[in-house]
Amino acid sequence: MGQLGFFDADKRLEALSAKGDPLEAIDRLVPWESFRAEVEAVVLTSDELKKSSAGRKPFDALLMFRMLVLQALNNLSDEQVEYQVRDRLSFSRFLGLAIEDSIPDSTTLWLFREKLAKAGLIEKLFDCFDQHLAAKGYMARGGQIIDASIVPVPTQRNSRDENAELQAGRTPAAWKQKPAKVRQKDRDARWTKKHGRSFFGYKNHVNADAKHKLIRHYAVTDAAVHDSQELDGLLDTGNTCNDVFADSAYRSTKIEGRLRASGFKSRIHRRATRNHPLSNAQLKANRNRSKIRARIEHVFGAQESSPGGRIVRTIGIVRARAKIGLQNLAYNIRRLVTLERLAAA
């Protein structure tokens, strides 16, 4: 078998387009150049800007960001996404790479994401895309739905004493003499229980608008943080409706008061207490609210059913915030493609 030639590759790409390459739809709808200034301001250091034209040039910052988005769309490891870009024509075309072009390796991608993570840039890029959504007519409408989802990380094999030290914010004494071991331990992730099962990792707290099911705000914490603690930071004053939907875990007298004071209307589920069961009217109201609130489960369900699921294979909350933020951005990108397809039908 001979080497793949230019015209052979071109024909294969045409065949991919004819079959409906989903990455082409994403490429058309995302305003990639709008991210360039923010990304380059972080990743291009003064030394890099002063480099002469001689020698190997750094990879384009926007190409690297697109590679991170591609990684998040498929929840691939750094090594996996490097391999897939080398192996798949659709991936390399999405990045604007020809067959003869150099491809960023996994280490280069890791270093690039580290710079974005440490600068807290993923949140800014997420907000930048949200502005693009609004400009295309997908403003936050119909009220807002607040919820949280557990994002697991690989389980840490620690002793009870070590876990107790970590929960107290201290590094176990036995680890201090083993810096290599410390680097492989996630000291920020925490255990929590849900429906009787234990989970280790982080939480993705999100606000999705009820109309479009787009994520408007998010926050990342360790898994032990109660859902309601992040409510205030997630509220969206830009939603055209002041209704706030959430499950009963968010309901308290203080939260109800804060919502009223801020001009929001609580649609949080009521819950029964000992000797005070819900009335028929309250049960009916909960059922009506559930019809709206269930839409956020579609958001988490879409993330869970995407390739690789939601698991994060990083160490530390700074990196987890970057990875989960990219997953949220990837969800909104996919959702935009769906909304545009439905609008055209």
- Tokens matching residue 50: 């002063």
Q: What is the mean pLDDT of the chain?
A: 89
Indicate whether 204 pLDDT > 90.
yes
DSSP string, 12-34: HHHHHHHH--HHHHHHHHS-THH
Over range 314-325, report the average pLDDT: 94
230 neighbors 200 (Cβ within 8 angstroms): no
CA distance 330 to 68: 10
Say how far apart CA 311 and CA 330 lie, in whole Å.
Answer: 15
pLDDT at 1 over 50: no
State pLDDT tens for residues 109-120: 999 999 999 999
| Chain segment 181-194, per-residue pLDDT in tens | 677 788 889 989 98
Q: What is the pLDDT of residue 53?
A: 58
For 160, the token pair is 């009870």
User: pLDDT (tens digit, 9 = 90+) per residue, 38-97?
Assistant: 999 998 864 454 455 555 678 999 999 999 999 999 989 999 999 999 999 999 999 999
Confidence band, pLDDT 50/70/90 cuts, at residue 159: confident
**Percent share of the chain, pLDDT over 70:** 93
Which pLDDT does position 312 carry in this prediction? 85
pLDDT at position 176 over 90? no
> What's the pLDDT score for residue 203?
96
Q: What is the CATH number of domain 139-153+189-316?
A: 3.30.420
Q: Specify the pLDDT at position 34.
A: 96
Q: How confident is the model at residue 131 (pLDDT cuts 50, 70, 90)?
A: very high
Closest to 163 measured CA to CA, from 192, 142, 191, 128:
191
When pLDDT is averaged across residues 272-298 and rounded to a whole number, the result is: 91
Give the max Cα distance, the chain.
79
Predicted pLDDT at 46: 45
Domains of the chain by residue range: 6-119, 139-153+189-316
What pLDDT shows up at residue 7?
56
pLDDT in tens, 209-221: 999 999 999 999 9
**CA dihedral (52, 55, 60, 65) positive or negative:** negative
